[in-house]
Amino acid sequence: MGRLTTHVLDTAAGTPGAGMSVTLHKIVDNRRETLKSIQTNHDGRADQPLLEGADLQVGVYELDFGAGDYFRAQGTRLPEPAFLDVVTLRFGIADTSGHYHVPLLVSPWSYSTYRGS
């Protein structure tokens, strides 16, 4: 059964990105349809898959990560406006039987991602 999962690593602190807001959208007719919003747990992960089974459909999706609010809550001094505020990752799902793991490695000044397992 296919599923979509995520997690956040705070590369500035070397810790999981606990308490970061994450919103999942599906792109339909060039518009964003919000599917789910969560807060990462103590390990920087969603408690459950964001999508799984029949809910995981072929298409284009976006994950919005609330990096600016997360770093402010950690007491990080950021310029206003912050260099990174909401980090949006757009990705495609082509195989609904696969596991799509989309992590975010983030600091106040940079981010990266990859398709994990």
The token pair that represents 97 in the structure block: 């039987």
Within-domain flag for 23: yes
- Identify the domain containing residue 75 by its residue range: 3-109
Number of domains the chain is built from = 1
Max CA pair span of the chain: 44
Within-domain flag for 54: yes
Within-domain flag for 43: yes
- The CATH number of residue 22's host domain is 2.60.40.180
Within-domain flag for 114: no
Within-domain flag for 117: no
pTM: 0.97
Within-domain flag for 115: no
Within-domain flag for 116: no
Which tens digits make up the pLDDT trace of 20-77?
A: 999 999 999 999 999 999 999 999 999 999 999 999 999 999 999 999 999 999 999 9
Residue 70 DSSP label: H
* pLDDT band at residue 117 under the 50/70/90 scheme: confident
Q: What is the rounded end-to-end Cα distance, in angstroms, of the chain? A: 14
Which amino acid is it at 49? P
